[in-house]
Amino acid sequence: MKIYLIRHGETDWNREGRIQGQEDIPLNENGRRAARQTALALDSVPFQAVYSSDLCRASMTAKIVAADREIPMVCSKDMREIGFGDQEGRFIARIKDDPQDPIHNFFLHPDRYIPPKTAESFDSLYSRSDRFLREVILPLEGKYDTVLLVAHGAWNRSVVNPLAGVDRAHFWEIPMENCAVSILDCKNGRLELEERSRVFS
């Protein structure tokens, strides 16, 4: 079973360099355009099912990429981006410039990141993405040949990084631009990484 894992298209907060986390920010026009280009590039891929984060920037991307295929789409909270609580909406550049900022290590030293009270930990992110794959996606092998997943930058890396042998300290090593596509292969209940990340826009 082939799994196409896609990051959502651009939002205004992406463009402005703000932390989105689980804020429900819609795609902007550039995000919709990139999703349409990705849809064209994947037009020949015979998707049979679509799973998306329930945040609208992901579900909008999923609908565009799925195009006119008459296939079911399931939206899941387990596919949401890592949460930052009351830190969401802040400018990333300012956070990176301040070593005392509570979110600073998330971007520059992820292996040392200790989330503030209202934020989610990397352990929680990895746990829920792993649970989602084990409980929802892996059982689809034998039922579907090709599945589309649309989620978020950190969530997608929590799936791709372990398969690529990338540890927590190098969490950001693999580029994951908006609408980046990663391809996974599922055989006998095990996932392998076929392609790390490609952008068609």
- Name the active-site residue from 8, 88, 120, 152: 8
> Taking CA 84 as the corner, what is the angle to CA 78 and CA 88, rounded to the nearest 5 degrees?
120
Residue 177 is a catalytic residue: no
8 is catalytic: yes
Annotated catalytic residue: which of 81, 88, 120, 152? 81
Q: Which residues are catalytic?
A: 8, 81
